[in-house]
Amino acid sequence: MRERGPVSTLVFVYGTLMRGGCNHGFLRTARFLGPARVKHVGLYQVSPAFPGAVREQNSVVRGELYQIDEPTLAALDRLEDEGYLYKREMLEVVMEETGVLVKAWVYLWRHGVSPETAVPLEEQPWCHRSRQENRKVDD
């Protein structure tokens, strides 16, 4: 009988978990697979510190795809307050460089959003610093 290795899964991230983000350390054992997009999901600035994605026709969210293990997935569920702030759903994700379509976990915001807080595709992937700088220029 062959011993099975650790179980892994894919997760798409679009905010503070991305490279350079304040929560990227949660992915220190993850394998970065590349930039990716998820369709029919819109991105919103749901707080001054982080974004949230919601199901939305004709929208796209840009982010990053990672291969993670079960302990990392459990840690992300705790970080994202899965079930209260965010709901983890399996969605189709497109790898930007190859066009390959995969299924990955995506954390979707569970609360309301305001149209004026939408993050347009040209300002993605989301970066806390760039959103702050863009607002200063616009003010």
Per-residue pLDDT of 50-106, as tens digits, reads: 999 999 999 999 999 999 999 999 999 999 999 999 999 999 999 999 999 999 999
Write down the pTM of the prediction: 0.86
Task: State the catalytic residues.
Answer: 80
Q: For tokens 């702050």, name the residue.
A: 132
Specify the CATH class of 8-138 in words.
alpha beta
Structural domain boundaries in the chain: 8-138
Which region holds residue 131: left if phi is over 0, alpha if psi is between -120 and 50, else beta? alpha
